[in-house]
Structure 1
Amino acid sequence: MVRSVRVGCSGWNYQSWRGTFYPPGLGTARWLAHYATRFDTVEVNSTFYRLASPQAVARWVEQTPERFLFTLKASRYLTHYKRLTELGAGVGRFYDAVRPLVKSSKLGPVLWQLPENFHRDDERLASALAGLPSGRHCVEFRHASWFADEVYEILRQHGAALVIGDAPERPFQSHELTTDWTLVRFHQGRRGRRGNYSAAELRDWAERIHRWRARVEVLAYFNNDWETFAPRNALVLRRELERLED
């Protein structure tokens, strides 16, 4: 069975996209609705920096099609300040703020990005995952010590996905698949100009994702948002995937 693939960007509210991805006269209040005509998923980075307002989240739900999917980045208070300890109250506040999404069919994974100076701690990871609400969760490790078979097994035991990050400064990141879905974050191309992904890189990634589809569902997000690289690269990747399906 071939699993689904969704491709999108890490956010939609970028002034540099005005006049390139967004029509020049389109007001910012309509940007998400326009974005949703081109993509069927988005990663929300703003939830990492501050709690969302339920009113704003309700508008996200209203402005997107029925099958649209939001991936939410977990609050840095939980990942960078609490560092996966004593999560109960903080997790509750995070989910309360996005309640309109939780009640809809549009809530995708919650992405837990750990800081670069957070070294491997198997017990803390297992305890944190065990206490999270039901739903999809994925973890982006940014220190090399985490990329080990024992850590992958903890993720498998809790049904969590390893975030597959593509960033030149972190060559140690793994393509390990730990559950029946995976999430790829494209941070910066290696061969394109100023972080743009080259056509060859995107073809290589399309072929890799196409192979994974025999085993897992794939969510892929481009985080290289400067100079409108993210939506451009995402659209090219999707075209390459469609070509492989023919």
Structure 2
Amino acid sequence: MKIALFGYGKMGKMIESLALARNHEIVAKIDIDTVDIPYNEIDIAIDFSTPEAAFQNITECFKNNIPVISGTTGWLSNYEEAIAICDKNNGAFIYASNFSLGVNLFFELNQKLAKMMQGVSGYRTSIEEIHHTQKLDAPSGTAITLAEGILDNSAYKTWKLDGEKEQELSIHSIREGQVPGTHTIAYKSEVDSIEIKHTAHNREGFALGAIIAAEWLVGKTGVYSMKDVLNL
């Protein structure tokens, strides 16, 4: 594949390294100061840019018949508009808050546990996420996806950072050191606790998942998720 990288920070550089090792070609590295983008040379775009740039990056690709993989968080207030532009241009798109294959399996486990806990009273549910100090958004997109999986399968009405009300699912965000990402779901009662946890040891899993998603998406049209990629 001929890949364009939108965003050339730590994640973009890691995607480049892994993509080259899988015999793909990087034909463009688009960062904040990039002016000319060679759309006619691109097979697929992988966007790990910024919340401010993501919507334009993604929709310009759709208008130029380029499928897009996006892992940028913080821009989802414009998600439905982006999907409409994708559909209008018969495009192809996968957005994920986290492309790690392990995290996407964790998403499924989280939903199944939430369903199992529906019929059990006395437990308070919470989410804790820990990331490096350079991460700009809080809570993480991964934590929000986990929260949505619980909301769909419980009596909680909404999630909130450090929420305390009975119907608020509390998310606690910690920023420390160089932590790639740790997410813990806890169900606590007066008598015991149940926890499931995903710990990323490095960013390579996120980058590899994005490349695998790109390999899967090329040649398709429509809007998909990592559940489609992994056949979950």
TM-score range, shorter chain: 0.3 to 0.5
Q: Which has the higher helix share?
A: 1
- Normalised to the residue count of structure 2, the TM-score between the two structures is 0.33
- Normalised to the residue count of structure 1, the TM-score between the two structures is 0.31
Answer with 1 or 2: which has the greater Rg.
Answer: 2
Q: Which has the higher strand share?
A: 2
